[in-house]
Chain A
Amino acid sequence: MSILVNKNTRLIVQGITGNEGLFHTQQMLAYGTTVVAGVTPGKGGEWVLNDKVPVFDSVRMAVQATEANATVIFVPARFAPDAMYEAADAGIPLIVCITEGIPVQDMMRVREYLDQKQVRLLGPNCPGLLTPGESKVGIIPGDIALPGNIGVVSRSGTLTYEVLYALKLVGLGATTCVGIGGDPINGTNFIDCLDMFEADPQTEKIVMIGEIGGTDEEKAAQFIASRLTKPVVSFIAGQTAPPGKRMGHAGAIIEGGSGTAADKIKALQDAGVQVAKHPEEIPSLLR
């Protein structure tokens, strides 16, 4: 078992003919992901990667031809909002957006529209997700993770790899690893993933990687205390980050003056979560 993606995931890649899109499609195919099509407007009818993957002009055409049920987006930031609207409009239930640097007001509109369409979004500015041995959607290197019984959810990209790798070195593996992305406005959040891991019979323990800014970790801590039966181990990045490199006064008011690593660690510890001092300490806390 796993969450969000598995053997039955039929993936399309938006932006498949770009550098990143093509490289990572190749990596996903090599891992065993079922990539059924790519989309690049103006290149419909072409085939890429030794004629393994057909390219379509639009998401709608790709879905009609292939019955895709998930998409991963590699298009540049200025085109990414349109790519997400297009995927939602074509009825794809899961959108994974890797693109970083999307303007925040665009993301507020995208999220509002996707919510109305009841589409699940992962990201943007995220590494995607990996169900070891079954499916990889995004850019998480496949060979750094083993299949196992730990659910991993993280706001960071490379820090997630760090944790998967540390688990692998001691023979521990993951059911699914989800990178929710570091942007202020994103789709799937910690609570969504914790909830799915709680419901997944194969997941026995959960690792949650947070960082400074926002209050998502504090909300997750409340959720853990009230709803979760499975043990959670956490790490929060940015304990030594200098303050003041964030938004102005009004932003601080909205966030209730919170967002520091110390606040998050305390909230998690109060909820019974073991918080690691550094990522390589996580495996020992899972024993």
Chain B
Amino acid sequence: MKLHEYQSKSIFAKYGIPIPKGRVATTATEARQIAEELGGRVVVKSQVLVGGRGKAGGIRLAKSPKEAEELATQILGMEIKGLPVRKVLIDEAANIEQEIYLGITNDRAARRPVIMASAAGGVEIEEVARTSPEKIIKVHIDPLLGLRDFQSRDIAAGIDLPRDNWKEFARISLGLWRAYSENDATLAEINPLVITKDKHLVAVDGKMLIDDNALFRHADLAEMRDLDEEAGAETEARKYGLSFIKLDGQIGCMVNGAGLAMTTMDIVKLFNGEPANFLDIGGGANADKVAAALRIILSDNNVKVILINIFGGITRCDEVAKGILVALEEVKPKIPMVVRLVGTNSEEGIQLLAKAKMITANTLADAAQKSVLAAQGS
């Protein structure tokens, strides 16, 4: 789950990381009021969950409350990479001497968290990684020990941070580590971490990604999810524990298991069809889940055929068949359905579905070909 900049920074502040004074506005009038309260120059920052806000003109400096109001009017009317801007953050402008990058993420290959820093902050860090990887310092963190102060000092030295700022930097690094580990983040990033003209450090921008699997122990974070920012079907799918990604094709796919779901998409494409979605009903799917999955697939008007591919293991084919029958009662789809059930209780499942008019298939290739054919026929 992605958090907005203002949400991420408010979490950082709880862990003692200095952030600029500021507040979120949803109207231009409000933006002006906040700018008046703050006094002086402010930055008007669009709050959308995509990168490249600055380049798109979604982050602008205002010299007066009046200008803040004008810029907020512009930015609140914008779309950035297809997402409408609904909120702006009005932050006190920092007097910037230098910009640093500081981030923590999971290094999958090393199986440890890694803290990264670069003296070349303020630009997209993957750009730095591509053009001058030597400018990025990486230090792995023992997951049982956590970040230690000596590691922070190593990083500070590695990016040539002035010695006077080392203590402050260690405090911020430790705060970032705690924000990361205590909130089950998969990314906690300050970019830029600014050295101000009066030689202090301030986290001017922040970003956090939270591990969806850990939300059960972070009710406060789960509430921060911005439902405006994701497709409705994906929200609906999550409610039922389904993993769903919408695509642009005509063949709606319902599969159990992520690997098999991807493979089903691949093979549809191999036989010149276009999948309409990725949908994994997960392990142990029951009738309710299956019915929800069918409703979600059918809510997409591009779908001309539904391909159901279930290989029973933990999921039992008869349970899936029951779910299909419940859903058919409810939604009465007018499009052809191709079904393939193999594995645990598949015989029972196939018998249950015998009454429903469906195209059956034995092999994966057979199922894909029949689906492509049915999509072309309609």
Contact = CB atoms under 8 A, between A and B. Distances in A.
Interface stretch (A33-41, A57-65, A190-198, A244-252): A244-252
Nearest to A77: B213
Interface in A155-206: 155-162, 165-166, 182, 184-185
B270 interface: yes
Interface in B231-277: 245, 247, 255-260, 262-263, 265-267, 269-270, 275
A238 interface: yes
A247 to B, nearest CB: 6
A103 B218 CA distance: 12
A179 to B, nearest CB: 10
B15 interface: no
Contacts of B103: 250
B314 A105 contact: no
A251 B105 contact: yes
A246 B365 CA distance: 28
Given A157-B313, A249-B124, A277-B270, A112 B144 contact: yes
A240 B266 contact: yes
B365 A280 contact: yes
Nearest to B247: A242
A162 B362 CA distance: 11
Contacts of B365: 278, 280
Given A105-B184, A108-B143, A241-B265, A157 B213 contact: no
B311 A158 contact: yes
A240 B217 contact: no
A157 B280 CA distance: 12
B287 to A, nearest CB: 15
B283 interface: yes
A144 interface: yes
B12 interface: no
Contact of B263 (A105, A140, A237): A237
Contacts of B221: none
Nearest to A140: B313
B209 A112 contact: no
Contacts of B143: 105, 108-109, 112
A241 B278 contact: yes
B107 to A, nearest CB: 5
Interface in A139-155: 139-141, 144, 154-155
Interface stretch (B16-24, B109-117, B295-303): B109-117
Interface string A82-124: 0000000000000000101111111011011100000000000
Given A105-B211, A247-B186, A251-B186, A100 B266 contact: no
A257 B126 CA distance: 9
A104 B213 contact: yes
A214 B351 CA distance: 41
B144 A248 contact: no
Interface string B318-334: 00000000000000000
Given A162-B364, A245-B245, A182 B258 contact: yes
Interface of A: 19-20, 24, 77-78, 98, 100-106, 108-109, 111-113, 127, 139-141, 144, 154-162, 165-166, 182, 184-185, 209, 211-212, 214-215, 235, 237-242, 245, 247-255, 257, 277-280
30 contacts: A78-B216, A101-B213, A104-B213, A106-B214, A108-B106, A127-B313, A141-B312, A156-B258, A156-B259, A157-B260, A159-B257, A159-B259, A165-B343, A185-B106, A209-B259, A214-B108, A235-B263, A237-B260, A238-B266, A239-B266, A247-B106, A247-B187, A249-B124, A250-B116, A250-B125, A252-B126, A253-B116, A253-B125, A278-B266, A278-B270
